[in-house]
Structure 1
Amino acid sequence: MASHLIGSFQLMKSLNRTLILNIIRSTGGISRADIAKRTKLTPPTVTNLAAELLSEGIVVEGQHGPSSGGRKPILLKINSRQFYVAGIDVGISKIRFALTDLDARVLIRKTIPVQDSPKEADIMDVLIQAIRSLSSEVPKGKLVGIGIGMHGIVNSAKGVALYAPNFNLKNIPLKEKLEEEFGIPVRVENDARAMALGESWFGNGAGAADMICINVGHGIGAGILMDHKLFRGRHGLAGEIGHTVADLNGPLCTCGNYGCLQAVAAHDGLKRAAMREISFGRKTLITDMISGDESKLNGALIYQAAIAGDELAADLFRQAGRYLGTAVTNLIHVMNPSKIIIGGGISKAGDLLLDPVREVVRQRALDPEAKKTPIVASGLGDEAALIGAVTLILAEMFSVQYKHQTELV
């Protein structure tokens, strides 16, 4: 009975502490009295927990706030440069690393190419060596966590990359091996979901409780937020919209099915459509730009041709946008989000891609409000998954997550 009471007390203390931290972070500076008012905690509880946070260096006292009479209150704020987070974006051809402060400001960046057909040991060696390099740049004990955005299917609870299709690797125990190596928390998430979390904290999704972030690059995936929380589905497959059918008579996808959205609207779909039109004799700047070398053809080159006035290149983005718009319309009808954010390499085409998406939604969504669902580009651009990986750690530090609290006490 006594141990149960002690555990309950520690749990409540942990929840209250996290609640206070989140309010300090979200406000940018707040007095103890205002924390008590917002949280309904007693002033002594706030004072005691604030003292703990101050002694640990997580929080510092800042400037004085406005006074309604008497002494001006001292504002508490997060000591963002006292601790650091490592973020990792495991892509198809490269792995990007960042060292950030607690405001997700990037202090150091590092990019390492991935060799063809890497083995699990190769990936782990790259990760370990790069994290060692980053951690050597900060005082010992100041790196508080490692967040990883990983392409493919991820078991986020166990921190395992269940299937990384572009590496053809399965069951990579990222969390286990890196926590064993560095002795700090490691959180692993699918890259699209990490991107969605990053956008909700630091990008164009700020303030949106229900949001879908779509990553359009070599593949297509979506991160879904419901009531500010990531939705993963029963087996972690939620958001795999790249493998929903866009064209029953479409081309073969890497997953083995035909006509997947990814096969017609992602990188390889654009490339395949361009080469088909060129083989039919269609005149285009792309022909001269690749000089017969198909390996040069990618989304960036097609975009360059489009902004130079090439009609085929513009048509390719319009067609990809219409396919994507159909998928977005389906998502709106199923999830009814307050906002859709589109990121990834192909999204760099901007309105060439997004305008057709919006047009399809206006034509096909059920009611006037659904037709007006905001569809915007990523606010974090190339670093969306990287900042999202960092946010995996920050979200655990600063958000009240009841299901994890027993582990944190």
Structure 2
Amino acid sequence: MRQGTFKWMKSMNKSIILNKIRKDGPISRAQIARDTNLTPPTVSSNVKELLEQSIVEEQELGESLGGRKPTMLVINNEAFTIIGVDAGPESIECIRANLAGKVLKRSKTKLQLPMDNDQFIAALKSCIASCLDSTDQVIGIGVAMHGVVDRATGTSLYAPNLGLANIPIKEQLEKEFGLEVKVENDARAMALGEYWFGNHGELASMLAVNIGSGVGAGVIIDGKLYHGATDIAGEVGHMTIDLHGEICECGNQGCLQTFVSGPAIARKATGQNLTAEQVFEQAVAGDESSIANFKAAGKALGVGLTNLIHIVNPEKIVLGGGVSKAQQFILPEVRQTIQASALTPAASATLVEISKLGDDATVIGAVTLLLVDVFELT
């Protein structure tokens, strides 16, 4: 493994030029100068450095506007790789991906619960090591971690499904691998991955909701991930839907999570000890009570999303996570509830879709944590 670095990319002009090539390539130097208001000499000198570092490469000649044909520029997606990690409550999944988010290798480690912090870190290291390649130039490692995360220190403050706290993920992984490590909440990482790689077009705002063993969300505003004043933006699973509802694991009553998460759906199922997956299988087979279970979850989710539309007013809402696979039962209820409850016709027409990235949404989001540093001004 060769260690990559993106310190040389992080000048303001390089970030502007790189992001322009990423979004609009193949593109000429002259077009970059026109679109960014940078001078042609500034563009040329920065492009020369980027070519030398191999992150940008020249492609076929473009169409002439009167002079000689311009050389077109594209991102060299194969020049560097990134490790992405989805540290879920039951397993750890790692991928090695190129700069276009293409998965080159993957590995998965089943977590043996209960476990302590050291055992969790050891499992992380093992999974990551099995994804590395000695010939790759690796930029860094992105970790999507469930629960509450301190981004500045890269610490998992509280991982409720593992029963662990204060896990020094960034510190331990940087010490082990000598690479830049970014740690983010899993739902936020998923939102970032969806925004970059979900083929949603040019959006100024988007809400991505991850519905699995819990419920979390990531909010994109003006193309940036929004964290809030105290870094808890997106904890939509703990939005109150029913003041007299079921007690949530957070201690409050009637949280959205108690209606729509996988465990909530399993608890409400007819029969004993069913998983949410088994309830889904019964619904697909035509079991009316299982279908009603998912429809009720869809209606509750629609109520929660209507609240969020009134607060955030996103252009699009993307649903991901295991529960979203029951889209044929949930999505119509979600859309009907929003249509009936939103304040204005425009709000009621807010697009709600299922993630196109599927099970890879979160781990692709983990990769994107590093791509943001490479391509954008932060």
Same fold (TM over 0.5): yes
Query: Which residue of structure 1 lines up, in the alignment, with residue 3 of structure 2?
Result: none
- The gaps in structure 1 that reach 5 residues or longer are 1-9, 279-291, 402-409
The residue type paired with residue 257 of structure 2 is Q
Q: In the alignment, is the contact (CA less than 8 A) between 2:29 and 2:43 conserved in 1?
A: yes
Among 276, 279, 301, the alignment partner of 1:302 is 279
Q: Corresponding residue for 2:11? A: 14
Matches of 1:370 and 1:256, distance apart in 2: 32
User: Match of 2:135?
Assistant: 139
C-alpha separation in 1, matches of 2:201 and 2:111? 33
Say whether the 8 Å CA contact 1:204–1:341 is kept in structure 2: no
* CA distance in 2 between partners of 1:265 and 1:80 (Å): 39
TM-fit CA distance, 1:348: 0.2
Q: Secondary structure of the residue that 2:165 maps to in structure 1?
A: strand
Corresponding pairs, count? 372
Aligned to 2:154: 159
Q: Distance in 2 between the 1:394 and 1:121 partners?
A: 29
Deviation at 1:306, TM superposition (A): 1.4
Secondary structure of 1:198's counterpart equals: helix
Give 1:261 deviation, angstroms: 1.2
Distance 1:204 1:215, change over 3 A: farther
Contact map agreement 2:10 2:374 (CA 8 A) in 1: no
Report the 3-state secondary structure (helix = DSSP H, G, I; strand = E; otherwise coil) of the residue aligned with 2:216: strand
Distance 2:58 2:200 in 1: 30
Q: CA RMSD in A?
A: 1.7
AA at the equivalent of 1:145: G
- What aligned pairs does 1:257-268 form with structure 2 within 5 A after superposition? 257-268=252-263
Give the residue type in structure 1 aligned to 2:142.
G
Q: Which has the larger radius of gyration?
A: 1
Larger helix fraction of residues: 1
Which residue does 1:64 correspond to in 2? Answer: 61
The equivalent residue for 1:94 is: 91
2:358 to 368, 378, 381: 381
Check whether the contact 2:108–2:127 (CA below 8 A) recurs between aligned residues. Answer: no
Residue in 1 aligned with 2:373? 396
Q: Following TM superposition, by how much is the alpha carbon of 1:132 offset from its aligned partner in structure 2, in angstroms? A: 2.2
Instruction: Name the residue aligned to 1:325.
Output: 302
Structure 2 equivalent of residue 128 of structure 1: 125
Q: Shift in Å at residue 157 of structure 1? A: 2.2
Q: Is the 8 A contact 1:88 1:95 kept in 2?
A: yes
Counterpart residue identity of residue 340, structure 1: I
Which AA in structure 2 matches 1:355? P
Q: 2:160 is aligned with what amino acid?
A: P
Question: How far off its partner does 1:241 sit?
Answer: 1.1
Residue 330 of structure 1 aligns to a residue whose secondary structure is helix
**In 2, Cα distance between the equivalents of 1:236 and 1:205?**
26
**In terms of mean alpha carbon deviation, does 369-378 or 125-134 score higher?**
125-134
1:153-302 equivalent positions in 2, closer than 5 A: 153-275=148-270, 278=271, 294=273, 297-302=274-279
Deviation at 1:232, TM superposition (A): 0.9
**Residues of 2 paired with 1:174 and 1:40: CA distance?**
41
Number of the residue aligned with 1:351:
328
Q: Distance in 2 between matches of 1:269 and 1:102?
A: 38
- CA shift, 1:126, in A, is 1.4
Equivalence for 1:45: 42
Look up the match of 2:319.
342
Deviation at 1:127, TM superposition (A): 1.5
Distance 2:256 2:114 in 1: 25
After the TM superposition, which residues 70-85 of structure 1 pair with which residues of structure 2 at under 5 Å, given as runs? 70-85=67-82
C-alpha distance 337-13 of structure 1, shift in aligned 2 (>3 A): closer
Paired with 1:181 and 1:90, the residues of 2 have a C-alpha distance of 17
Contact 2:92 2:127 in 1 (8 A): no
CA distance in 1, matches of 2:299, 2:138: 44
User: What residue identity is the alignment partner of 1:314?
Assistant: I
